Amino acid sequence: MIDPLERWKETGLPDKPDYAGLLTFAGMPYTHDPAELEGVDVAIVGAPVDDLTSDRPGTRYGPRAIRAAGCPPGPHLEARVDGLAELRVVDFGDAPVVPADPAGNHAAIERTVGQVVAAGAIPIVLGGDHSVAEPDIRAVASAHGPVALVHFDTHTDTGEEVFGVEISHGTPMYRLVRDGHVDGARYVQIGLRGYWPGEKELQWQAERGITSFFMHDVRDRGIGAIVEETISIVGEKPVFLSVDVDVLDPAFAPGTGTPEPGGMTSGDLLWACREIASRTRLVGMDVVEVLPTAVASADVTALVAERVVREVLTGIALRRRATQ
């Protein structure tokens, strides 16, 4: 079998500028052959769908924008580790999705993420609207059992339905907990604020032991204390990290479908993602709701989403160092 990383090195392309060559995450080698996932630590998967959004569409363009927001490789200047050098990372391309077929698209996403999981690699999914969390977490839970979930978001996404529709970007966490793919007692939400959902959904969450940290908790207690409690709650159970960029204040992430003022800073989110990845048993991740067509400065949002992934890769590398 041809080693995709060695094949890539032979071309000399790791030294290419970001704007040249095949568009892959951070210039990592591309493969869409499951046989070439052997020995890979992390595989990037695109989920370019937004058929189930309830507000502004356009997040189908998110994966491409996140890939285009890459930066030159090198060590993380604060953590002093280069996750891209210490881990074998490939871009596994996009799940084979088409417009206006949400059921078929979810099946394609679950199947594609499942190939990554079956190979023993950690999938990092680039959305897409947040409905993609349902198939990608389901694929991970199929291999690891019910997972713990750390969920950064303005919204809980635990609606039983949105506008009378049972499957949308506002319902994935309800369905994942209901169907046993996520362990409610080890499910933590961070950054909640705004005006949705209502008391019905919050009561449902409380009955299942879900922990919710609102923005006033983050402001009053500090992100460090919130992350410490989160790590304590999820414990050593396999953890999935789901990041909706609307958890950020629109000043930091204007390009998203349902922006809500009063959110997190990008600095706090980046640090928190790295810390969680370095101190928990991370088995999967997604970053969703990047809407690059929303406003002229939307590439700022794609940039912070790309850096969220880079921080997680740094955290995974730090954990590998600590456990070897």
Counting Cα atoms < 13 Å in the Cβ hemisphere of 208 gives 23
Q: Please count the structural domains in the chain.
A: 1
Token look-up 């406003």 returns 295
**Cβ(48)–Cβ(93) under 8 Å?**
no
For the segment 51-105, what is each residue's pLDDT rounded down to a tens digit?
999 988 999 999 999 999 987 778 999 999 999 999 999 999 999 999 999 999 9
Token look-up 């067509």 returns 293
For the segment 227-258, what is each residue's pLDDT rounded down to a tens digit?
999 999 999 999 999 999 999 999 999 999 99
Q: Which domain holds residue 166?
A: 4-323
Radius of gyration of the chain (CA): 18
Residue 83, both tokens:
């996750």
For the segment 95-131, what is each residue's pLDDT rounded down to a tens digit?
999 999 999 999 999 999 999 999 999 999 999 999 9
Residue 211, both tokens:
């922990």
Q: Provide the 8-state DSSP code for 26.
A: G
pLDDT at 49: 97
CATH code for the domain of 163: 3.40.800.10
pLDDT at 172: 97
